Amino acid sequence: MKKTLTASLLIVLAFSSFLGAQSNGNSNARSATNSAGAKTVRKRGPIFRANKDQIMQAQAILKQRGFYNGAQTGKLDPETRVGLKKYQEAEKLKVTGTLNRATLEKMNITLTDKQKAI
C-alpha cells in the first residue's frame, strides 16, 4: 500500500513539474494564442498622425529655419523627414523624423481634437 501511494505521488509530482516547465517555456506563445489554440491579434492603440495642413505648416517652419529646401506639399517625403530630424536634434527632441506630438507642440502647430485625445 505504501509503495502504491509513494508511486502515485511521484507520478503526480513528475507530471506537475513537467507542466510547470512547459508553461514557463511557452509564456510568449501563450500571449499569441487563446485557449482554443487560435492566434489572437493584440490591438494597438491609436496612431498619432499629422494631417496635410500640419505637415505644410511644419515644412514652412523647417524652410524658415533652413532645415528644408523643398516645396510645401503636405507630404512627409524623405526630404521633409531629413529636415525634421535636423530640427528635432537642434531642439533637443527625440530624433524620429516624424511629426509626433512633441515636435508639433514645439513648432506651435495646433493639434486636432483627435490628436489631443491620443
Q: For 11-44, write each residue's pLDDT tens digit.
A: 766 666 655 555 554 444 444 556 666 777 888 8
Percent of the chain with pLDDT over 90: 59
- The whole-angstrom separation of Cα 59 and Cα 115 is 19
C-alpha cell at 6: 509513494
Give pLDDT, residue 41. 83
C-alpha cell at 79: 526630404
Q: Grid cell 524658415 — which residue?
A: 64
Give pLDDT, residue 112. 94
**Contact assessment for residue 59 and residue 44, using Cβ atoms and an 8 Å cutoff:** no
Average pLDDT of the segment spanning 67-93? 96
Give pLDDT, residue 74. 96
Give pLDDT, residue 26. 47
